[in-house]
Structure 1
Amino acid sequence: MIHHKTKVAVIGLGQWGRNHARIYAGMPNVHLAAVVDVNSADLRGFAHRYKAEAFTDYRKLLGQVDAVSVVVPTNLHFEVASAFLETESHVLVEKPMTATTAEAATLVELARRKNRVLLVGHVERFKPAVRRLAELARKPIFIQARRVRPYDRTRTMDVGVVMDLMIHDIDIVLSLVRGRIVEVGGLAVRVHNSQEDLAGCVAWLLASRVSADKAAEIEVTTPDRVIRLDYLKQRLAIHPFHGEVEDMAIHGDEPLLAELRHFINCVNGEEQPLVSGEDGLQALEVAHRLLQRMSTVAPPVRV
């Protein structure tokens, strides 16, 4: 029998925020108390569907909920997350954690001072195949990652491809290596807007939002094997230097469900954050170092 339900609100009802709300509403130990959005035309209808209250101003919920998912545009992450931490709500903030590393560091310190959970929404870490990869790749010596997708004019472009796509792989590489980054460099190409659309770095990470296809894969070389992971198919291929190749499909819960369940368990003191505020800050620091070192190439000009 469940005696207590964690009272949760979702701030931001874009596509991903709606997924947060949908999953919370189906969790037996969670009460989805409220959803917040300033622009959603069907805000009240959406809230009614999940028996939640509807608000257009998140400040009306300060001090009223146990925990929140912050799923607003990146430039608002710090404002919203810090307000809820200050009023002692636990916070899950989507990636990238904040717009600047200074903001991220402030959130980390605020969560520590208030003794609140601060979880960063690097949802790839909750994919079963990624967890299996972490178990297999204990001593990585070389990593290559590629994450590309076709251009989508309907997709929010509030950040460039490094913060949008590549930061997933930055976070995963940091979780595998657990070492200090010595050097960062990169190249970017602008195609459709003022943000970078194509990026590669000396860590052998490649990300693009202007590809002909959609793919997400990582290859990790260890002293005795090469492990390849297809994120989209959730398949692992293990190529030992001596022995037979092993190919396996990894199945499990929806990654966002696993992430939100983990968040609530952290709120209830049952688990420690898999992707802590410190982890989110470290990934953001590497991404910003990459952007600072990156030379940008404009698209060709027809003459």
Structure 2
Amino acid sequence: MELRHLRYFRAIGREEHFGRAAIALRVAQPALTRQIRDLEAELGVELFERLPRGVRLSEAGRIFLADVEEILAQVDRAADRAKRLGSGHLGTIRVGLSEIIAAHEFISYGLLQFRESEPGVALELRSMGSMQQIAALKEGTLDAGILYDAHVDERDRDNLEHVTIGIGETMLAVPRNHHLAERDSVTMAELADEPVLWPERRAQPGYYDRLMTACLEAGGAPRVVQECTTNSILLSLAAVGMGVGFMTVSKPLPSFQNIRLVPISDLNLALHVLLVWRRRDQSAALRRFATVMAERASAPQGA
């Protein structure tokens, strides 16, 4: 028994007429009659009562038709799912992002845009540090990561593919009652005596090194009083006056209670925000996700 036998039977069962079914199926009527006889022979039961003019479903035929309708509907659904998976319109994408990266507004809008444009693809967002994302990508437990270019080691670039989805500028986070809070910009020389809150190297070695190098090139190492594992800790400590901190942000600038972000005029440090995935991953849904996120990055602000 083949699927064409079931499709032929369904057409005749619906019409209860071989001639009309043959026209609908674009099959010669003698061939259609022969296929149904073969099906009846295989089942060992007559599916139709032959009448002087046309046919009528037998009792067995009516029951068989109900089952065939269900079988063919399931086949059609399975075929549709396969097509949608193959074209990237169905599936699940496991995406990693850190607290620092999630603060960029364009990322949230990009995720929303993809979710609205591809409702059949589920985004499974996982909060994890950049180094954890790289490890998870290598292990295959993560499909994509969103992180700064500083975290991608040269040794990993042959195995990872990426697209730039944004750029972050490093600014100074200061308490609103700080003497630098109302300035349009500051220089690194003005921060020489300031207590500085600094990222912890163990959690973000690439970012730590890039930031330290930029500070040294701009005039000197900062006076670090506390290393922070997350931006929320840095902001909490800065808000109570424990120090000033470096934060990488993008426009429109985020708003924080009791904190103001001030540009650093001579700190030459811009970090690219990357969407990263395994080079060998050929998932169509993942490729569509990368396209949407890249297009969102190039869209005018506020679009």
TM-score when scaled to structure 1?
A: 0.30
Query: Which structure dedicates a bigger proportion of its chain to helix?
Result: 2
User: RCO greater where, 1 or 2, for CA within 8 Å and sep 6 or more?
Assistant: 2
| Structure of larger gyration radius | 2
| TM-score between the two structures when normalised by the length of structure 2 | 0.30
